[in-house]
Structure 1
Amino acid sequence: MALWDQLGGLFGSEEGGVSGAVQQLLERNGGLSGLVEKFQQGGLSEVVGSWVGTGENLPVSAEQIQSVLGNEQVTALAEKVGIDPQQLSANLAEYLPQLVDKLTPNGALPEEGGLLSHGLDALKGFFKH
């Protein structure tokens, strides 16, 4: 099963499902580069660097997701997709490394100019099945 199908199954395919949650996560954190910076500031530079880089993705725990993103953001995103905040943290811990990896196929963050719109357009395309 493709990554995007797995994510859609976890968060729901209705309007505002996973693409909406991911879009909101990226928007709230200043796009992909802002999200990466948030993980770096949260003490997870090596972990998030592995997601962006071309090597193996290091794992992240639900607790680390909760710590980096904060309770308020996780709760708001969970409400948006209609699941428990702990489940959202676990789902993000499982799939966020793959998502960042897919959005950085060359092992580096894309240029800032169209990063958010490029990433969101790519996500929307994957979820329209």
Structure 2
Amino acid sequence: MGLLDSVLSAVGGQQQGGEGLGGLLGMLGNQPELLQAASSLLGNDGANGGLQGLIAKFQQAGLGDVVASWVGTGANQAISGEQLSSVLGSDALSGLASKFGVDPGALAGQLSGVLPGLVDQLTPNGQAPAAGLGNGGDLMGMLGGLLKG
């Protein structure tokens, strides 16, 4: 089973009451560059302006309902790697992929598999925290602690 299949399986299990955060973080823990890329996107110190900035980018791209489903308490809408690439922009995605030594298309596909479940788990009350999720280092530490726990 490929990485993307495993990630999608973990996220699908979470949506159906399965593995939940443990399965999702286990997958992220096996791919440190994916964990770093996700933290870079969601951290307040990232180029996107953290979760609030990412939400704004989704809204500008006409996909506000998709990201709202991840933050909200209902089922998470899926997103393709191509859609995520259009939200982030090819330059930003290429820069992120270069930073972690991975292919931009592969990174977009992998992130599209983990971001819905990750955002969902980081916003358990159905709302994005006004202060964001913290900086990338804090977020990495929190996710790393969950991986060990």
Alpha carbons 2:97, 2:104 under 8 Å: kept: yes
Match of 2:134 among 116, 121, 129: 116
- Deviation sequence 1:91-117 (CA, Å, 0-9, x none): 1111111111011000001121x6324
1:59 to 31, 55, 78: 78
> What are the ranges of 5 or more consecutive residues in structure 2 without an aligned counterpart?
1-21
After TM superposition, the score normalised by the length of structure 1 is 0.83
- Aligned partners of 2:41, 2:126: CA distance in 1, in Å? 21
Quick one: structure 1 residues 126 and 78, their matched pair in 2 at CA, closer, same or farther if it must change by over 3 Å?
Answer: farther
- Contact kept, 8 Å, 1:32 with 1:116, in 2: the verdict is no
Report the CA distance shift for 1:7/1:71 in structure 2 as closer, same or farther (over 3 A). Answer: same
Q: Among 65, 69, 78, which residue is 1:46 paired with?
A: 65
User: Cα deviation per residue 1:62-118 (whole Å; 9 max; x = unaligned)?
Assistant: 110000001111111112222211100101111111111011000001121x63249
Q: Matched residue of 2:78: which SS? A: coil
Partner of 1:80: 99
Q: Who is 1:30 aligned against?
A: 49
Closer, same or farther in 2 for the Cα pair 1:124/1:8, shift >3 Å? closer
Separation of aligned partners in 1, 2:134 and 2:106: 26
Q: What pairs up with 1:10-21 in 2 under 5 angstroms? A: 12-13=31-32, 17-21=33-37
Q: Which residue type is aligned with residue 117 of structure 2?
A: Q
Calculate the aligned-residue CA RMSD, in Å: 2.1
Secondary structure (helix, strand or coil) at the match of 2:62 reads coil
- The aligned amino acid for 1:21 is A
Which runs of 5 or more structure 1 residues have no equivalent in the other structure? none
